[in-house]
Amino acid sequence: MEQKALTPIEEQKVDFYGDEITTALVEVEGQAVMYIPLRPICEYLGLSWSGQRERTIRDPVLSQEVKFVRVTRTNLGGNPEILCLPVDFLNGWLFGINASRVKPEHQEKVIRYQRECYRVLREAFNPQPLTDLDLEQTQATQALEQIKATGLAVAKLAEQQIEMEKRLTKRLNKAAQVFTSFDSRLGTLEHKLSPAAHVTEEQAETISSSVKALAEFMTSKDPSKNHYQGIFAELYRRFGVSSYKSIRIEHYEKVLQFLEDWRNLL
């Protein structure tokens, strides 16, 4: 399969059952998607990479989601372009492994990974927060400790997003006042001139570059937060769109000014 490798916005290391897995955050159609490299997991589980690669490409669902991502923070060496799946599809891929055909010394680990898949699916339909007391009372203490480590990594991302949204709400209320009067005077006229047009590809690229520049500037001040997702989230909320490519052309200059004012407030 030939495709242009995606370039991550950000990479992180996650401890999963004692195995160090790299996660790569990638922008896909204006959305931030987390991808997981498959080959390192195959090596941890003693699986044949060539066989698992072919299985993934043949699968009617996974083949539509698998992408090459330029991941630099792995121990594989060689070509950094690695076959990856979005984190939402990793459980389905793990379910497809036949533990009985794995080397005996790796079977227990494969089953432990797959057992976690069932727990994740159950919690997706009936979410119950894990507490320290729950972890102490369970009979599968060791397995749950490993689940906790994974959950904390996911929770950290969620906490960063929540914190960013709180800070954005406080800071951007002041910036919003600047645009309120302007919007009320020009909104009707702009709608009549171009009621349905979206920004051009070139304008969309300018918006994406401006967001990335602002995120990098914010990261230089506070590297502990995922600023990229927070900026897009506020941009989509404020202008009522689900992708920066869907921004109305009459809002193009206001979007750029909005990002510039945000930077000046920092």
d(Cα 42, Cα 47) in Å, to the nearest integer?
5
Instruction: State the amino acid at position 19 in one-letter form.
Output: D
Q: Residue 262 pLDDT > 70, yes or no?
A: yes
pTM here is 0.43
Q: What is the mean pLDDT of the chain?
A: 80
d(Cα 63, Cα 55) in Å, to the nearest integer?
9
> According to the model, what pLDDT value does residue 187 have?
46
Burial class (CB in 10 A: 0-12, 13-18, 19+), 229: buried
Among 255, 259, 264, smallest CA distance to 228 is for: 259
| Lowest mean per-residue pLDDT among 138-142, 151-155, 214-218, 261-265 | 138-142
Is the model more confident about 79 or about 183? 79
Q: Residue 79 pLDDT > 90, yes or no?
A: no
| Lowest mean per-residue pLDDT among 50-54, 57-61, 189-193 | 189-193
> According to the model, what pLDDT value does residue 62 have?
93
Among 2, 1, 114, smallest CA distance to 47 is for: 114
pLDDT tens digit string along 116-154? 777 665 555 554 554 565 555 655 666 666 667 777 777
> According to the model, what pLDDT value does residue 191 have?
45
Is the model more confident about 195 or about 169? 169
> According to the model, what pLDDT value does residue 69 have?
92
> According to the model, what pLDDT value does residue 127 have?
47
pLDDT tens digit string along 1-16? 556 889 988 888 887 7
Taking residues 227-256, what's their average pLDDT?
Answer: 90
Is the model more confident about 121 or about 221? 221
